[in-house]
Amino acid sequence: MLHTHADPSSHKQRRLERLKRAGSWYDIREMLTKDDLYVLEPLFRKAHEELVPDQDFDMKAVLRHAEYKLLDPERMTYNGWAAYREGVPIGFFIGYVSSFFISTDKFAQTSVWYVDRQYRGSPVAFLLLKQFLQWGALRGCVRFIVDIIRDKHSEKQVRLFAKMSQKLGFREAGVYFVKDVNNAASMDDRSGKEA
Protein backbone atom coordinates (compact mmCIF):
# COMPACT_ATOMS: atom_id res chain seq x y z
CA MET A 1 0.00 0.00 0.00
CA LEU A 2 1.39 3.37 -0.99
CA HIS A 3 1.10 6.16 1.58
CA THR A 4 1.23 9.70 0.34
CA HIS A 5 1.81 12.63 2.60
CA ALA A 6 0.12 15.93 1.94
CA ASP A 7 2.46 18.54 0.62
CA PRO A 8 3.08 21.00 3.50
CA SER A 9 3.23 23.87 1.04
CA SER A 10 -0.26 23.04 -0.25
CA HIS A 11 -1.57 23.00 3.33
CA LYS A 12 -0.01 26.41 3.89
CA GLN A 13 -1.46 27.66 0.60
CA ARG A 14 -4.97 26.46 1.57
CA ARG A 15 -4.62 28.17 4.95
CA LEU A 16 -3.56 31.43 3.27
CA GLU A 17 -6.51 31.21 0.86
CA ARG A 18 -8.93 30.72 3.78
CA LEU A 19 -7.41 33.72 5.52
CA LYS A 20 -7.76 35.87 2.39
CA ARG A 21 -11.44 34.92 2.08
CA ALA A 22 -12.01 35.64 5.78
CA GLY A 23 -10.22 38.96 5.40
CA SER A 24 -12.77 40.04 2.82
CA TRP A 25 -15.46 39.75 5.53
CA TYR A 26 -13.78 42.49 7.55
CA ASP A 27 -13.05 46.08 6.67
CA ILE A 28 -9.75 47.38 8.03
CA ARG A 29 -9.46 51.18 7.86
CA GLU A 30 -6.93 53.72 8.96
CA MET A 31 -8.20 55.94 11.76
CA LEU A 32 -7.82 59.37 10.20
CA THR A 33 -9.95 61.85 12.13
CA LYS A 34 -11.53 62.62 15.48
CA ASP A 35 -14.82 61.46 13.95
CA ASP A 36 -13.30 58.00 13.45
CA LEU A 37 -12.45 57.92 17.15
CA TYR A 38 -15.98 58.96 18.18
CA VAL A 39 -17.40 56.08 16.10
CA LEU A 40 -15.08 53.74 18.02
CA GLU A 41 -16.00 55.15 21.45
CA PRO A 42 -18.20 52.17 22.47
CA LEU A 43 -15.34 49.79 21.63
CA PHE A 44 -12.83 51.99 23.50
CA ARG A 45 -15.12 51.80 26.53
CA LYS A 46 -15.23 47.98 26.28
CA ALA A 47 -11.44 47.86 26.08
CA HIS A 48 -11.21 50.17 29.09
CA GLU A 49 -13.52 48.00 31.18
CA GLU A 50 -11.57 44.89 30.31
CA LEU A 51 -8.00 46.19 30.44
CA VAL A 52 -7.92 49.01 33.01
CA PRO A 53 -11.21 49.07 34.93
CA ASP A 54 -9.56 50.78 37.91
CA GLN A 55 -8.82 53.87 35.80
CA ASP A 56 -11.36 56.49 34.76
CA PHE A 57 -12.33 56.47 31.08
CA ASP A 58 -11.73 59.83 29.41
CA MET A 59 -12.63 60.40 25.76
CA LYS A 60 -10.37 63.48 25.76
CA ALA A 61 -7.43 61.17 26.37
CA VAL A 62 -8.50 59.09 23.36
CA LEU A 63 -8.88 62.20 21.19
CA ARG A 64 -5.29 63.23 21.81
CA HIS A 65 -4.35 60.38 19.46
CA ALA A 66 -6.14 62.18 16.63
CA GLU A 67 -4.14 65.28 17.51
CA TYR A 68 -0.90 63.30 17.23
CA LYS A 69 -1.99 62.22 13.77
CA LEU A 70 -2.88 65.75 12.70
CA LEU A 71 0.65 66.77 13.66
CA ASP A 72 1.98 63.85 11.57
CA PRO A 73 -0.17 63.86 8.39
CA GLU A 74 2.15 61.41 6.61
CA ARG A 75 1.78 58.95 9.50
CA MET A 76 5.56 58.63 9.77
CA THR A 77 5.66 58.02 13.52
CA TYR A 78 2.11 57.28 14.67
CA ASN A 79 -0.85 55.44 13.16
CA GLY A 80 -3.96 53.47 13.97
CA TRP A 81 -6.40 51.11 12.29
CA ALA A 82 -9.92 49.93 13.08
CA ALA A 83 -11.61 46.70 12.04
CA TYR A 84 -15.29 46.71 11.11
CA ARG A 85 -17.76 43.93 10.44
CA GLU A 86 -20.90 45.06 8.60
CA GLY A 87 -20.14 48.67 9.60
CA VAL A 88 -19.73 47.91 13.32
CA PRO A 89 -16.30 48.47 14.91
CA ILE A 90 -14.89 45.22 16.34
CA GLY A 91 -11.21 45.96 16.90
CA PHE A 92 -8.49 48.57 16.79
CA PHE A 93 -4.71 48.87 16.80
CA ILE A 94 -2.56 51.94 17.45
CA GLY A 95 1.19 51.89 17.09
CA TYR A 96 4.16 54.19 16.81
CA VAL A 97 7.68 54.34 15.40
CA SER A 98 10.69 55.45 17.40
CA SER A 99 14.45 55.01 17.26
CA PHE A 100 16.67 53.09 19.62
CA PHE A 101 18.41 55.07 22.35
CA ILE A 102 21.89 54.15 21.10
CA SER A 103 21.16 53.89 17.37
CA THR A 104 19.33 55.64 14.57
CA ASP A 105 17.68 52.34 13.62
CA LYS A 106 13.91 52.46 14.03
CA PHE A 107 11.44 50.16 15.72
CA ALA A 108 7.65 50.00 15.68
CA GLN A 109 5.70 49.25 18.85
CA THR A 110 2.10 48.80 19.87
CA SER A 111 0.46 51.52 21.87
CA VAL A 112 -2.86 49.69 22.21
CA TRP A 113 -4.43 46.69 20.49
CA TYR A 114 -7.91 45.38 21.18
CA VAL A 115 -10.36 42.98 19.56
CA ASP A 116 -13.91 42.59 20.84
CA ARG A 117 -14.32 39.31 22.74
CA GLN A 118 -16.66 37.65 20.25
CA TYR A 119 -14.14 38.15 17.42
CA ARG A 120 -11.12 36.74 19.22
CA GLY A 121 -9.91 33.68 17.39
CA SER A 122 -11.09 35.19 14.10
CA PRO A 123 -8.60 36.75 11.63
CA VAL A 124 -9.28 40.28 12.95
CA ALA A 125 -6.24 40.45 15.24
CA PHE A 126 -4.02 39.15 12.46
CA LEU A 127 -5.41 41.61 9.92
CA LEU A 128 -4.81 44.56 12.26
CA LEU A 129 -1.29 43.36 13.07
CA LYS A 130 -0.59 42.91 9.35
CA GLN A 131 -1.44 46.59 8.73
CA PHE A 132 0.94 47.62 11.51
CA LEU A 133 3.77 45.45 10.13
CA GLN A 134 3.35 46.81 6.61
CA TRP A 135 3.26 50.39 7.88
CA GLY A 136 6.40 49.92 10.01
CA ALA A 137 8.27 48.19 7.20
CA LEU A 138 7.56 51.12 4.87
CA ARG A 139 9.08 53.41 7.51
CA GLY A 140 12.28 51.39 7.69
CA CYS A 141 11.75 49.68 11.03
CA VAL A 142 14.23 46.93 11.87
CA ARG A 143 12.30 45.65 14.89
CA PHE A 144 8.63 45.26 15.78
CA ILE A 145 7.51 45.06 19.39
CA VAL A 146 4.05 43.74 20.17
CA ASP A 147 3.16 43.38 23.81
CA ILE A 148 0.54 41.82 26.02
CA ILE A 149 0.21 42.28 29.76
CA ARG A 150 -0.52 38.86 31.23
CA ASP A 151 -2.40 40.00 34.33
CA LYS A 152 -5.06 41.57 32.12
CA HIS A 153 -5.61 38.56 29.86
CA SER A 154 -6.57 34.93 30.31
CA GLU A 155 -3.94 32.27 29.76
CA LYS A 156 -5.87 31.08 26.68
CA GLN A 157 -5.62 34.54 25.11
CA VAL A 158 -1.91 34.67 25.90
CA ARG A 159 -1.39 31.28 24.24
CA LEU A 160 -3.36 32.35 21.13
CA PHE A 161 -1.40 35.60 20.97
CA ALA A 162 1.91 33.72 21.30
CA LYS A 163 0.95 31.20 18.62
CA MET A 164 -0.09 33.90 16.15
CA SER A 165 2.91 36.13 16.79
CA GLN A 166 5.38 33.22 16.51
CA LYS A 167 3.87 32.27 13.13
CA LEU A 168 4.66 35.82 12.03
CA GLY A 169 8.29 35.51 13.14
CA PHE A 170 8.06 37.10 16.57
CA ARG A 171 9.83 35.63 19.59
CA GLU A 172 9.28 36.22 23.28
CA ALA A 173 11.89 38.74 24.38
CA GLY A 174 11.21 40.16 27.80
CA VAL A 175 9.05 40.57 30.83
CA TYR A 176 7.02 43.50 32.12
CA PHE A 177 7.01 44.47 35.79
CA VAL A 178 4.07 46.70 36.65
CA LYS A 179 3.45 48.81 39.76
CA ASP A 180 0.19 50.72 40.18
CA VAL A 181 0.11 53.72 42.49
CA ASN A 182 -2.66 55.97 43.84
CA ASN A 183 -0.65 59.15 43.57
CA ALA A 184 2.39 59.31 41.31
CA ALA A 185 3.93 62.08 43.40
CA SER A 186 3.83 60.06 46.61
CA MET A 187 4.13 56.59 45.03
CA ASP A 188 1.26 55.35 47.21
CA ASP A 189 0.81 51.65 46.50
CA ARG A 190 -2.50 50.64 44.82
CA SER A 191 -1.75 46.95 44.85
CA GLY A 192 -3.86 46.46 47.98
CA LYS A 193 -0.99 44.99 49.95
CA GLU A 194 -0.28 46.34 53.38
CA ALA A 195 3.14 47.90 53.88
69: exposed, middle or buried (Cβ count in 10 Å: 0-12, 13-18, 19+)? buried
Residues 6+ apart with CB under 8 A from 19: 123, 126
Residues comprising the chain, all counted: 195
* Residues β-bridged to residue 30: 81
Answer whether residue 158 is part of any domain: no
Q: pLDDT tens across 78-120, in order?
A: 999 999 999 999 999 999 999 999 999 999 999 888 999 899 8
116: exposed, middle or buried (Cβ count in 10 Å: 0-12, 13-18, 19+)? buried
Amino acid at 192: G
What's 89's domain CATH number? 3.40.630.30
> What is the predicted pLDDT for the residue at 90?
96
Q: Mean pLDDT lowest for which of 2-11, 138-147, 166-175?
A: 2-11
Amino acid at 74: E
Domain count, the chain: 1
The residue that leads in pLDDT, 136 or 121, is 136
Answer whether residue 68 is part of any domain: yes
- Average per-residue pLDDT in the chain? 82
Answer whether residue 102 is part of any domain: yes
Answer whether residue 137 is part of any domain: yes
Domain ranges, residue 91: 11-151
Q: Is residue 109 a contact partner of residue 95, using CB atoms and an 8 Å limit?
A: yes
Give the other-Cβ count within 10 Å of 65's Cβ.
20
The confidence band for 24, taking pLDDT boundaries of 50, 70 and 90, is: low
Answer whether residue 171 is part of any domain: no
| DSSP reduced 3-state for 167 | helix
Answer whether residue 82 is part of any domain: yes
Answer whether residue 32 is part of any domain: yes
